[in-house]
Chain A
């Protein structure tokens, strides 16, 4: 990890979330740890069910029963969110750390004007703010996302998809948080609108000096937008690299396969999927969860879960690499047993 003089704005240490379902216990998040510096953008990628949204919800302490945060810390600007009381956490939400959920634009209340909804958001977290200041914040937020101030008086159905999503971003930055988590903010949008929204997010982030975690599964979007990429698989972080490292020299076999499978303009007609299926979290294989699909799997992979360690300038959890980041063996070597 790059060392910076600044204090990291976010430190997640060993976060664990378990769901207690009728069919058994599910480890949705198994010891996630990472840090984020101010004005840094991190992408969190993984397949559906890999734990990305769970991570976001856990950081916001919005995990509902039958799920529970089993352990770990989420430290934003020296405040450990996991230790806060419920009412303090409420204040922290939206003002320290804000979350733009997936499908947010479809969750706008259809019968309230935009400004009423934004006012609600502020009141829910900082009830003591004066009416005039609330109005001012609303106007500022809308302008930051490049929307006309009179959008505040409109209803959601009068806005296009891109505009609604930008309203959601505006709601997310009302209280000038230090950390913004955007969960698939552009998944339902067209390519051109998507670009607009992402450029807006970029600008907003620079204005606020905040850090952003972008959750998604579109690696292309990550390449365009983030500084570093974290790849999740079956509830664990497999690799966290800078965006350059991830796209040129990925280390974890899952990340390698992911980058390999990306369609580019060069190799027409060459389709490279990742064989096999992601495991159901109820039935995780022992050891490293990826070993059944891994071309480099070794004996130790079947029994021991690899730890997330720093190797070759990034964090990776894989037995394949020794302390210096060199591969212990190549795929196809005799050492393999499948």
Chain B
């Protein structure tokens, strides 16, 4: 059976202006896939500029890849028939970062839920639609009587974000792309929203691609992780192990810079080198060379391939060049579900 969603050597570059030659590579030859039979939660982690938002936009079909193909259930999404497109739209949903911006301030919050019901013909009558909305709200821990009929500015950020999750739930999609769903929500409410996402995966068999820069939440929610840096995969594998025992120098820097709420784990284990990124340089080698404390000559020549560290871990770093390599296309085989 064809995988649910597949990226085949997808690259996305943005050029400045019509004739300019300076191009920014947002995503560089990334391949991954998720299977329908094993619904999982995969995290794509990275800082700003890593390409994770571009990945989200590509996944949702909002922008086309520059090279490579994106396939949904085996079909290239840029070449789908209208009917296939409608199915794609229905089965791939999103939860976005800003809980307020997704609401049209002119309408009550009901609008967010009622439009997809209407467009995808999920209910045959107003009453049935209402039932579905109430059910979805209950499933994320909200009381319909507190929520329906209100305007977005009358509700809190946490409530709004939960309505977003409820919306995703309504459509019973196969895949949810969650782009920083809790970064704009107060810390105390994050737990409930993340729990709702996990419930969607566990109880409804929905796969989730959780995009974030916050590794602590990724640790709690996901099964596998892909760490991106400037469009390339640095490390990937089992989320527990990657976060507790990072292998790639970039991941190490990232983990060490997380402000753990733990007095025994303070900053400063790894040093931050070359503080400012020198942007705009065309790099032939590994993207992390200018900041890597372990940089070697060969790092500047060509980007390292994926090295297999153990049965559920890969890293693209010449430090591990003793290990066997894996083709980029096979990345997803290394990720646990």
Interface residues of A (CB under 8 A from B): 47-48, 146, 160-163, 190-196, 198-199, 217-225, 243-244, 247-248, 257-259, 261-265, 268-269, 271-274, 277-278
Contact = CB atoms under 8 A, between A and B. Distances in A.
A192 B243 CA distance: 15
A268 B260 contact: no
A265 B261 contact: no
Contacts of A263: 191, 216-217, 219-220
B254 A191 contact: yes
A248 B262 CA distance: 10
A222 B261 CA distance: 7
B186 A265 contact: no
A73 to B, nearest CB: 31
State the majority secondary structure of interface residues on B: helix
Interface in B258-277: 258-263, 266-267, 272, 275-277
Given A192-B253, A223-B262, A262-B261, 6 more contacts: A196-B275, A217-B186, A263-B217, A263-B219, A268-B219, A272-B191
B276 A247 contact: no
State the majority secondary structure of interface residues on A: helix
11 contacts: A47-B186, A47-B188, A48-B186, A161-B48, A190-B213, A221-B259, A225-B259, A261-B187, A263-B217, A265-B219, A277-B158
Contacts of B219: 263, 265, 268
Contacts of B244: 265
Nearest to B259: A220
A271 B189 CA distance: 10
Interface of B: 47-48, 156-159, 186-192, 194-195, 198, 213-217, 219-220, 240, 243-244, 253-254, 257-263, 266-267, 272, 275-277
A193 B275 CA distance: 9
Contact of B188 (A243, A268, A274): A274
Contact of A195 (B159, B215, B257): B257
A48 B263 CA distance: 25
Contacts of B191: 261, 263, 271-273
A277 B188 CA distance: 10
A221 B263 CA distance: 11
Nearest to A224: B259
Contacts of A221: 259
A195 B189 contact: no
Contacts of B190: 273
Contacts of B254: 191-192
Given A192-B272, A263-B216, A265-B244, A223 B267 contact: no
B187 A217 contact: yes
Contacts of B47: 190-193
A192 B45 CA distance: 13
A139 B198 CA distance: 51
B262 A264 contact: yes
A191 B220 contact: no
A191 B240 CA distance: 19
Nearest to B49: A190
Given A161-B48, A192-B272, A271-B194, A264 B261 contact: yes
Contacts of B266: 224
Contact of B267 (A48, A224, A258, A277): A224
A190 B262 CA distance: 19
Given A190-B48, A269-B220, A273-B192, A48 B157 contact: yes
A146 B261 contact: no
B67 to A, nearest CB: 28
Contacts of A262: 187, 261
B283 to A, nearest CB: 18
Contacts of A218: 187, 259
